[in-house]
Amino acid sequence: MSKGILYDATLCIGCKLCERACAERNGLPYDDSVGAEEVQSAHKLTVVMSSGDKFMRRLCMNCQDPTCASVCPVGAFRKTAEGPVTYDASRCIGCRYCMLACPFSVPKYEWDKALPLVRKCDMCADRVVKGQQTACAAACPTGATKFGDRDALIAEAQERIAKAPDQYVKHIYGQEEVGGTSVLLLSSIPFERFGYQTSLSSQSMPLLTYRVLSHIPNMISVGAVLLGGIWWITGRRAAVQAAENSPAKRAETGEGK
């Protein structure tokens, strides 16, 4: 069963305990100055953003059909059956195509290291495999971040919106976006206010490149035959022309030129 995270911003009190738990689980330093940063980075894999008295989390969405996994030339990213999208650092060559391609701009880079790696939230893959919830969900004191089966979480989110329609934006962010994500968001104010794009297609991104890549085998076979054919025909034409212009041929047809 595919797991997921439901973050309900209306329950969030902005205590940032999820940030602290995340840093701890990933072996990253955390103090007040890190806590004050409102952008994701290689040393801060999740952030709680605030706008007035409203909050919103940002973490890897762990897409159902992840763009990063499709674009990575060495297949360092993998969507696990349990839901998390994992990153195998030993494969990474550092091309940073994942950073460019991710529709949520989640993967971040260790810019200040001589031998850098990509960092991103992997939905605590090791814990999830063991049947535990993610570190952030475990740390959340209000239940704003809730871990569970993705399908059940979607049903619950729909129920919450139905029960208090004036409290929520009528949209479960992540249910449809780019083919669905393991992380689902609920908010009382428009998602754009926190930099979330709501215009994303519900089609999974990797299809965009697959449509072209899938033609390659055809292109190779047709192309090779076509080029070979052109070579044969033009070569033959040149040979015929040369033969017709040769002195022997000219003597035969009695041309004096």
Partner 1 sequence: MTRIKFTFWKVVLAILLLAGAYATVLRFVRGLGASTHLSDAFPWGVWIGFDVMCGVMLAAGGFTLTATVYIFHLEEFRPIVRPAILTAFLGYVLVVVALLFDLGRGYRIWHPLVMWNPRSVMFEVAWCVTLYTTVLAAEFAAVIFERLRLEKLLRIQHAVAVPLVILGVMLSTLHQSSLGSLYLIVPSKLHPFWYSPLLPVLFFVSAVCVGLAMTIFESCMSSRHFGKQLEMKLLVRLGRALLVGISVYTVLRFEDLYQRGALRLLSLRSYESNLLALEIVMGLLIPIVLLLIPRVRESAGGLYISSVLVALGFVTNRLNVAITGMEGSAGVRYFPKWTELAVTGSIIGVAFAIFALAVKYLPIFSPAEPSAAAPEPEAAELLHARS
Site of interaction with partner 1 (CB under 8 A) = 39-42, 67, 69-75, 91-97, 99-101, 103, 105, 108-117, 197, 199-201, 205-206, 208-210, 212-213, 216, 219-220, 223-224, 227-228, 230-231, 234-235, 237-238
Number of H helices, E strands in the chain: 10, 9
The 8 Å CB, 24+ separation contacts for 113-117 are 116/42, 117/89, 117/92
Give the shortest CB-54-to-partner 1 separation in angstroms.
21
Q: Which is nearer to partner 1, 189 or 208 (CB)?
A: 208
Q: Which is nearer to partner 1, 132 or 209 (CB)?
A: 209
- C-alpha 215/C-alpha 218 separation (Å) is 5
Give the shortest CB-256-to-partner 1 separation in angstroms.
27
Q: Which is nearer to partner 1, 159 or 231 (CB)?
A: 231
Contact 128, 82 (CB under 8 A): yes
Give the shortest CB-112-to-partner 1 separation in angstroms.
5
Q: Which helix (H) or strand (E) holds 8?
A: strand 3-8
Give the shortest CB-245-to-partner 1 separation in angstroms.
14
Among 82, 178, 176, which Cα is nearest to 131's? Answer: 82
Q: Which helix (H) or strand (E) holds 180?
A: none
Contact 226, 220 (CB under 8 A): no
Q: Which is nearer to partner 1, 49 or 161 (CB)?
A: 49
Give the shortest CB-183-to-partner 1 separation in angstroms.
18
Give the shortest CB-195-to-partner 1 separation in angstroms.
9
Give the shortest CB-57-to-partner 1 separation in angstroms.
18
Q: Which two tokens stand for residue 50?
A: 């605030």
- C-alpha 65/C-alpha 180 separation (Å) is 8
Number of residues assigned to the chain: 257
Q: Which is nearer to partner 1, 96 or 193 (CB)?
A: 96
Among 179, 162, 78, which Cα is nearest to 120's? Answer: 78
Q: Which helix (H) or strand (E) holds 78?
A: strand 77-79
Q: Which is nearer to partner 1, 155 or 219 (CB)?
A: 219
Q: Which is nearer to partner 1, 13 or 240 (CB)?
A: 240
Q: Which two tokens stand for residue 254?
A: 């009695």
Q: Which two tokens stand for residue 126?
A: 């090791």
